[in-house]
């Protein structure tokens, strides 16, 4: 069986296999990789998932992409190693469920992709030889998930840049207590400064010998594992293949693209709701057909979604037959009518987010955090446009409330319990480097060979 190929959304470079797409991250023409064709799962195959543990569902979905590149027994081992935590589905009200993706080692949904990516990176690097340095700028969750996943993976060193004043204490400790091949650098600056330093390093010709790579959501390796939990939820909730509604709190749109991929593979999905905060470039585009990115991005309480130009929109546009380049310029309009039929998108203000967090707790005795509650409000906005009927609906909760103790305590009056995985990490001694928002200093730091010394 010849391996599946992946093509760039910019269409200027040849299609490549999974290993090449994975190790490259971004395509050479600055586009993003997408499968040339989507492998299909039959309704019978999907129905079987209802009886299987998460790691087995992951194996059966992902092997459709890895055939000819990763042997099945190796993939099965990867899935067992990556997914040793639960994926709870709670009932909110009749037919409406909450899927908590917050049970991984850093209590964020980003663990689902990061854990699998680390396994695959390790394998692919063994095959091609050499060392890779993964550079990540983080405003909190990504850095922790990537650092934990890649900790002690042979051939990989990780450097995480974070803004010293914009990261909570628990978020910081989840990154700075790991050591070995993981190095964290506190920057006296903003998240935008960290991101600019990382971006510049990627295009710096004096650093090419270091083999920099990225684990953020431009990498196709982030997207594929994020299709699995939609299959998992639907198989458990949908009676006789009834199409499911998903509401997803969205920033860079990597999580919601997982749902799009699942649907392209045959999962019956009625509506994908992309719920956003004040960064409303996508709901405006869906309504008007005119795309205007938001720059600089707007700050909000759901801070992991403060994204003015979601990088995965280029992929979404491509799925609907259009073309958007990496700057957000549309070269060919997608089928907007089809997009409006399949998708819904709503922007939720901070005031609504805070009020809803409190109201949700009092009404259902279920504690959410600022990202999950944006998904809940987006769902309510959609149900005001058409009745839910018999479709099951799944609201995605992307982080544990304990990661946002201040916000949660302000509205419900008490601090949420900290999950055991987080308590253990937070108790370890911290060690991190510190520098100004100065690219030359950062370049010297990379060249000095940190952190392998
Ligand atoms: C990253 C993140 C999101 C947004 O996910 P995207 O894939 O970027 O849309 C939502 N919630 C939390 C808690 C996150 O960390």
| Euclidean distance between CA atoms 132 and 209, whole angstroms | 10
Ligand 1 binding pocket includes 315 (Cβ within 6 Å): no
Q: 104 CB less than 6 Å from ligand 1?
A: no
Ligand 1 pocket residue status of 305, Cβ below 6 Å: yes
Quickly count: other Cβ atoms within 10 Å of residue 410's Cβ.
13
pLDDT tens per residue, range 211-226: 888 888 889 999 999 9
Question: Best substitution site from 371, 372, 403 to test ligand 1's pocket, by max atoms within 8 Å of Cβ?
Answer: 371
Residue closest to 358 by CA, chosen among 411, 413, 416, 301: 411
pTM over the 0.85 mark: yes
Q: Which of 112, 305, 401 to mutate to test the pocket of ligand 1 (most atoms within 8 A of CB)?
A: 305
Can you tell me the distance from the alpha carbon of 409 to that of 416, in angstroms, rounded to the nearest whole number? 7
For the ranges 34-48, 83-97, 209-223, 341-355, the lowest mean pLDDT is seen at 209-223
Name the residue with the closest Cα to ligand 1, atom 11. Answer: 398
Are the beta carbons of 308 and 295 closer than 8 angstroms? yes
Domains of the chain: 87-107+222-412 (3.40.50.1100)
Residue 373's pLDDT band (boundaries 50, 70, 90)? very high
| Whether residue 450 has pLDDT greater than 60 | no
Between the alpha carbon of residue 266 and those of residues 51, 260, 337, the distances in Å are 19, 10, 20
Distance 444 CA to ligand 1 centre (A): 32
Q: How far is 34 from 320, CA to CA, in rounded Å?
A: 12
CA-based nearest residue to 180, from 147, 211, 204, 205: 147
Ligand 1 geometric centre to CA of 255 (Å) = 7
Which residue out of 144, 175, 249, 353 has the highest number of ligand 1 atoms within 8 Å of its CB and is therefore the one to mutate? 249
Per-residue pLDDT of 151-187, as tens digits, reads 999 899 999 999 998 788 888 998 999 989 999 999 9
Query: In this model, does residue 452 exceed pLDDT 50?
Result: no
3-class secondary structure for the chain? CCCCCEEECCCCCCCECHHHHHHHCCCCCCCCEEECCCCCCCHHHHHHHHHCCHHHHHHHHHHHHHCCCCCHHHHHHHHHHHCCCCCCEEEEECCEEEEECCCCCCCECHHHHHHHHHHHHHHHHHHHCCCEEEEEECCCHHHHHHHHHHCCCCCEEEEEEEECCCCCHHHHHHHHCCCCCEEEEEEECCHHHHHHHHHHHHCCHHHHHHCEECCCCCCHHHHCHHHHHHHHHHHHHCHHHCCEEEEEECCCCHHHHHHHHHHHCCCCEEEEEEEECCCCHHHHHHHHCCCCCCCCCCCCCCHHHCCCCCCCHHHHHHHCCCEECCCCCEEECCCHHHHHHHEEEEECCHHHHHHHHHHHHHHHCCCCCHHHHHHHHHHHHHHCCCCCCCCCEEEEECECHHHCHHHHHHHHCCCCCCCHHHHHHHCCCCCCEEEECCHHHHHHHHHCCCCCC
253 lines ligand 1 (CB under 6 A): yes
| Per-residue confidence band for 415, with pLDDT thresholds at 50, 70 and 90 | confident
**pLDDT digits over 107-153, tens only?**
999 999 999 999 999 999 999 888 889 999 887 788 999 999 999 99
Range scoring the smallest mean pLDDT among 71-75, 177-181, 353-357, 446-450: 446-450
**Average pLDDT for 363-374:** 96
Confidence of residue 85 (pLDDT cuts 50, 70, 90): very high
pLDDT of residue 24: 84
Q: Calculate what percentage of the chain has a pLDDT beyond 70.
A: 99
Span 47-63, average pLDDT: 97
Residue 254 Cβ contacting ligand 1 at under 6 Å: yes
Mean per-residue pLDDT, 40-50? 94
Pocket probe for ligand 1: among 174, 255, 273, 407, the residue whose CB has the most ligand atoms within 8 Å is: 255
As a whole number, mean pLDDT of residues 381-404 equals: 95
Mean pLDDT confidence for 423-429: 85
Residue 101 vs residue 427, higher pLDDT: 101
Residue 373 alpha carbon to ligand 1 centre in Å:
13
Is the pLDDT at 280 greater than 50, yes or no?
yes
- Ligand 1 contact, 304 CB (< 6 A): yes
Look at residue 451 and tell me whether its pLDDT is greater than 70.
Answer: no
User: Across 163-177, 237-251, 434-448, which has the greatest mean pLDDT?
Assistant: 434-448
The reply to whether ligand 1 has any atom less than 6 angstroms from the CB of 283 is no
Angle among Cα 267, 272, 274 to the nearest 5 degrees reads: 145
- pLDDT level of residue 1 (50, 70, 90 thresholds): low
**What's the confidence (pLDDT) of residue 290?**
97
Mean of all residue pLDDT scores within the chain: 93
Q: Is the pLDDT of residue 210 over 70?
A: yes
* pLDDT tens sequence across 398-410: 999 998 888 889 8
Give pLDDT, residue 419: 86
**Residue 398 C-alpha to ligand 1 middle, in angstroms?**
7
């Amino acid at each position: 069986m010849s391996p599946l190929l992946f093509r760039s959304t910019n269409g200027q470079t040849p299609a490549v296999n999974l290993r090449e797409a994975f190790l490259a991250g971004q395509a050479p023409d600055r586009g993003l990789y997408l499968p040339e064709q989507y492998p299909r799962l039959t309704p019978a195959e999907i129905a079987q998932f209802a009886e299987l543990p998460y790691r087995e569902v992951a194996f059966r979905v992902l092997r459709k992409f890895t055939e000819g590149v990763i042997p099945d027994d190796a993939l099965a081992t990867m899935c067992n190693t990556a997914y040793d935590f639960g994926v709870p589905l709670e009932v909110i009200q009749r037919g409406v469920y909450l899927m908590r993706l917050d049970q991984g080692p850093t209590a964020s949904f980003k663990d689902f992709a990061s854990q699998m990516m680390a396994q695959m990176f390790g394998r692919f690097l063994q095959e091609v030889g050499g060392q890779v340095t993964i550079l990540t700028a983080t405003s909190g969750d990504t850095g922790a998930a990537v650092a934990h996943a890649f900790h002690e993976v042979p051939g990989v060193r990780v450097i995480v840049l974070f803004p010293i004043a914009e990261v909570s204490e628990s978020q910081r400790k989840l990154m700075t207590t790991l050591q070995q091949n993981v190095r964290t650098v506190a920057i006296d600056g903003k998240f935008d400064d960290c991101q600019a330093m990382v971006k510049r390093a990627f295009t710096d010709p004096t650093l090419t010998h270091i083999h920099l790579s990225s684990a953020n959501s431009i990498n196709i390796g982030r997207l594929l594992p994020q299709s699995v939990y939609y299959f998992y939820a639907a198989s458990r909730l949908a009676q006789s293949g009834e199409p499911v509604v998903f509401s997803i709190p969205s920033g860079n749109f990597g999580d919601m693209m997982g749902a799009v991929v699942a649907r392209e593979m045959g999962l019956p999905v009625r509506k994908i709701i992309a719920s956003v905060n004040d960064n409303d470039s996508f709901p405006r585009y869906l309504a008007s057909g005119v795309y205007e990115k938001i720059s600089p991005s707007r700050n909000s309480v759901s801070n992991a979604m403060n994204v003015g130009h979601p990088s995965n929109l280029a992929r979404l546009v491509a799925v609907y037959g259009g073309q958007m380049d990496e700057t957000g310029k549309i070269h060919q309009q997608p089928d907007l009518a089809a997009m409006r039929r399949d998708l819904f998108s709503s922007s939720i203000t901070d005031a609504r987010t805070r009020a809803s967090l409190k109201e949700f707790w009092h009404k259902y005795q279920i504690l959410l955090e600022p990202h999950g509650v944006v998904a809940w409000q987006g769902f309510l906005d959609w149900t005001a446009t058409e009745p839910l009927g018999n479709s099951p609906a799944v609201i995605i909760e992307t982080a544990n409330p304990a990661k946002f103790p201040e916000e949660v305590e302000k509205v419900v009056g008490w601090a949420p319990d900290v999950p055991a995985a987080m308590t253990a990490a937070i108790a370890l001694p911290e060690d991190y480097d510190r520098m100004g928002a100065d690219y030359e200093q950062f370049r010297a730091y990379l060249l000095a060979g940190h952190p392998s010394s």
